[in-house]
Structure 1
Amino acid sequence: MMAFVFAFLFTFLIGISHSKGQLQVGFYSETCPQAESIVRDIVRDAIQSDPNMAAVLLRLHFHDCYVEGCDGSILIDNGPQSEKNALGHQGVRGFEVIERAKAKLEDSCPTVVSCADIVALAARDAIVMADGPSYEVPTGRRDGLVSNISLADNMPDVSDSIQQLKAKFLNRGLTEKDLVLLGAAHTIGTTACFFMNKRLYNFLPGGAPDPTINPSFLPTLNQRCPENGDINVRLAMDEGSERTFDKHILQNIREGFAVLESDARLNDDLITKSVLESYFMNPLFGAAPSFEADFVDSIVKMGKIGVKTGFLGEIRRVCSAFN
C-alpha cells in the first residue's frame, strides 16, 4: 500500500513539475488575470508618446531572447559587466517601459509576473499597435539569474555575411525562414547613420558602396548619411512604410532598397531569397503564403528560446536587478 501511495505521489509531483515547466497561453489567468491588459495599457501610452517605441520594444524582445534565452537578462543593470552594455546591443532601448509595466504589475500582483514575460507581451502589443498581426503569447517564463556582457559576443551583426547570419540563427534553433521573417521586423523603426558608413563608403576597396544598393536609391542614402556626417542621424529601415508592420520591407529588399546591409544579404542566398520571393508569388501559380501568419509562427518560436520555467530562475521584483 505504501509503495502504491509513494508511486502515486511521485507521478503527481512529476505531473506538476511538467505542467509548470511549459509555457502556456493564459498562464496568469488565475494568478494575475489583468496582467496582459496592464502591459497593453503601458505600451499604448509609450507608443503614443513616441511612435518609434513600437520598433524599440520589438527589438528588445529579440535581443533578450538571443542571449541566454528569453529570460530578461538584457534588463539587468549590474554595472559595466551588464549584458545591456554589449556592443551587439547598441541602441537597444525600452527598458523604462518594461519597468513601468513591472511596477504596475507589482502593485496588482506582487512577484507573480516575470520581466521576461513582460518583454514578450510588450513586443506583441507593439506589433499590434503598428497595424501588425495580433497573436496569443505563451507565458510562464521566469527571469534568469545571469547577465554578463561577454555572453552577447555572438549577436547577429549588421555587417555579417548571409552565411554568418544563417549560422547564428541556426545556433539558436532558428531556420533560414525564421531569419527572413524575423529580419522583416525591420519593417518598423529607424537605424542610425553609424550603421551605414561601411555600406556606403567602404564596402569595396577604394571606398565603393555596396553594389546591391539600387542606383536610384544610393543618392538618397548618401544625402541622409553623408561621409563624415553626423552618425546619429536616424533613417527609416523600411523606406516608405516605417510606421506600418507589413511585408513592404521584403519588397524593398528584392528591389535593392534595403537600408541595412544584413537585410540586403537575404538576397545573397538561394534559400533565403526563395523564402522572400514566396511572399510575392504570381497568383497564376497559386496563393502566396501569409506573411503575417508566418511571422507570428517565427516570433512565437523565438519567444521560446532557452526559457526558464517551473523552479528555474526567479520572478524579479524590479526588472533591472536580481532579487
Structure 2
Amino acid sequence: MTLEHAILAIDGSDAVRVVTGAVPPNTKLAFVYALPAPTVFERLAVPSVRETPSPRQTFIREVAVYGSATSATEGFVKLASATLSAHERPGLQTELVLHRRDAVRWVRLELAHGLDTPGPQVWLEFSEIIGQGRQDEAPLDTGFSGQWKGRGLALVLDQAGAAVAGCYDRQGKLEGSVVGRVLHATGREPRTGVASSFIASLGEKGTVQVLRSTNGAPFKHYVGERGAPRPLPACNAPTAPTLGCDSVIHGIQFDFDSATLRPSSAAVLDSLHQGLAAARSARVVIEGHTSSEGEESYNRSLSQRRARAVVDELVRRGLAADRLTASGAGESRPIAPNDDEAGRSLNRRVEVRCQA
C-alpha cells in the first residue's frame, strides 16, 4: 500500500485497480486525506464494483468513510458506510449509507475484506470513492515562492497574488494560478516542445506535493523539500508572474454545472484585470474551456456562458466593454487527459487571447 494507491482511490477515474500486494482476504486498509477547507458530504458512492477474471484478485467488500474536524489522527466519526456486491453491468454506483453530515477537515477511508476469498492470499482491488457536498472557501495560500528539490523534482517558483510563474527540470517554464490552497499550472520544455501539467499544494514544513502529467501521460506524484535543486533550473530567478494576454488560467472557479463565479475567484480576477488594464492590445478574447463530462453541445454552451461571466466581471472592475469578447470552446481543445479528475480540473480553464 503506497501513496499512489491513496491517490488512485480519489482520482476521479472509475477504473478498477489493484491496491495491495498479496495479502490475506480479511485485510483492512486505511487512507487519510486532508481537505482544503471544512466540508460537508451529502453523497458518497463507489462506482464500477466488478470482479477481475483472475483467481487471485478480488474487489473490496466493506467501505467506511470517517471524518474529523480536529486533526489527522483524532476526533474521527463515521460519516458513511456500505457493504459492496458486484454490479450487474457497467456504469452503476453503490451509494454509501450516510450516518452523519458533520463539517470535517480530514477524511479517513477504510477498506476491508474481499468479495471473494479464493485462497489464503489475494490482491485486493478498488475503483474510487465519489464524494459530493459543500465546502467552505479556503483562504489564498501565498507560499508558492521559493525553490524545491526532490526525487524527479526540480522546481523554482515566484508568486504575486494569485499568479505564479517559474521553471522546472532544466529548461521548462511554467505559469499558473492559485485558488485556495491549490496551484494549477502548465509548462513547456523549450528545446523539445514537450508540455507538462501540474497540480500542487504546500504541506507541513514547507514541502510541496505535486501531481504532474508530461506529454499527456497519467499523473505521477512527487514530493519536494525546500532547497536549491541541483542542477538549478536555467530560470532560477523567474520573471515576476502576471495574468493577462496569453494566460491560461485555472483559478477562475464556478459553481458546479453553472456560470456563477465563486467568491474564491476574486483574487484571480483582480490580477487579470490589472494585467489587461496595463496591456496595449485593442481587443481581448476571453475563451472558456470545459472537461469532457456531459454532452459536447452542452459543454460548449456552458463554456460560452462562463466566458461571458468573466467578461462581465472585468467590465465591472473597469475594463472597457468594447475591448472584450467572450468565446466558448467547450471540450474541443483539452490540454490534459480527461481520464481522471486531475486532468479534468486542468481542462476546465479560461484562456486569454489578445489582438492588436
Instruction: Tell me the TM-score normalised to structure 1 length.
Output: 0.30
Structure with bigger strand share is 2
Identify which of structures 1 and 2 has the higher relative contact order when contacts are C-alpha pairs closer than 8 Å and 6+ apart.
1
- Greater share of helix residues, 1 or 2? 1
TM-score of the pair, normalised by structure 2: 0.28
